[in-house]
Amino acid sequence: MTTQQKVGQLLITGLEGCEAGEDGTSAVQDYQVGGMILFGRNVESAEQLVGLTNELKTLNGDAVPLFLAVDQEGGRVSRMPAEIERLPAPLTVGQSGDAGLAEQYGTCLGELCGAFGFNVDFAPCLDIWSNPENTVIGDRAFGTDASAAAALGNAAAEGIAAQGVIPVVKHFPGHGDTAVDSHVGLPVVEKSLEELEAQELIPFQEAIDRGAPAIMAAHILEKGIDPDAPASLSYKVVTGLLRERMGFDGVVFTDDLTMGAVSETYGMGEAAVLAVEAGCDMLLVCHGTENLAAAYEAILSAVESGRISRARLDESVYRILSLKVEYGLTNAPSPEADVESLDGAVEALLEALGT
């Protein structure tokens, strides 16, 4: 692979419309990005959504297969077409206390994602909803204590993975005890490492011990670990804590670098370089072709200048390609989604939950 192709592999970006359009075509063919993420703005119907993911695969040709990613958590974070029955919030599943139901929930999430051509799900949240004022997490969490979040959240992750979809557990090192929404500002957590290990890190350590393939780093300033940089841009958090202390060697994704928690303080190019220096592998740049260009050019320049070593670049590319091979990603088109069957799986889960 050329250096340019390697840099492209580190980036996941979005597009604006319900077709690939100029922005999607450029991302795939000009920048050769490692993946694309779709949002509600990109979804009109079941037929259209399969057509869009297939279009992106076709544009990718015989290049390294794309991560096709989505935030499909269930509850209020759902990107599925209107034809699909809605899943309850993760907290509803968590309150059952039943790991088997949580795994069934994950299985439904994985089936839904896979049916529409997605191979990455940015779910489940392993955050602990320990702060009642925290509305950005709230019922997206599986529980209000570490044991529930760990047991049921990780059971859901394994259900997703069993369907051939890569679960990306989030938001490391824990977004549950914050009151600021990182989409608009930088949440600050003032806890020592010992306090984190007694609560927030428990679900993530269990995920690592169970072989989680991917973890998302949050835009949270965890002052007890690094008072200067948000977790997603912090060497102390990503490399020092997550990789070295907790033993994670899978793929680390950043949360979206266009979110206010980062973009209000850092330029896109510098944020992207800092994320790679911190130890992150996949950088989410979900909005704006100019942001994709800035991130790509900044990383490429940092590699060419020696600020980011070629060995460091190769380390991330190796993790990314290994994960794509492990999950058997291809550019083959997906068949038409069986909406009736998908709705049946959701209804069976609802019945089991008694909702």
Q: Output the pTM of the full model.
A: 0.95
Cis check: omega of the bond before 171, within 30 degrees of 0: yes
Give the angle subtended at the CA of 90 by the CAs of 14 and 107, to the nearest 5°.
Answer: 75
pLDDT at 116 exceeding the cut of 60: yes
Q: Identify the pLDDT of residue 190.
A: 84
Q: Report which of 351, 349, 327, 256 is spatially closest to residue 114, judged by C-alpha positions.
A: 327
- Tell me the pLDDT of the chain averaged across its residues: 94
Name which CATH class applies to 16-349: alpha beta
User: Which pair of tokens denotes residue 77?
Assistant: 């974070």
pLDDT at 180 exceeding the cut of 60: no
Q: Identify the pLDDT of residue 130.
A: 79
Q: Identify the pLDDT of residue 185.
A: 65
Q: Identify the pLDDT of residue 113.
A: 98
pLDDT at 178 exceeding the cut of 90: no
Q: How far is CA 211 from the centre of its chain?
A: 16
pLDDT at 182 exceeding the cut of 70: no
Domain boundaries, given as residue ranges, for the chain: 16-349
pLDDT category of residue 193 using cuts at 50, 70 and 90: very high
CA 61, 62, 66, 68 torsion-angle sign: positive
pLDDT category of residue 337 using cuts at 50, 70 and 90: very high
* pLDDT tens figures, 66-103: 999 999 999 999 999 999 999 999 999 999 999 999 99
Q: Identify the pLDDT of residue 24.
A: 97
Q: What residues act catalytically?
A: 183, 255
pLDDT category of residue 189 using cuts at 50, 70 and 90: confident
Q: Are 86 and 109 in contact (CB under 8 A)?
A: no
DSSP code string of 71-130: ---BTTB----TTSPPPPPHHHHHTTT-HHHHHHHHHHHHHHHHHTT--EE---B-----
Residue 325 pairs in a beta bridge with: none
Q: Identify the pLDDT of residue 136.
A: 79
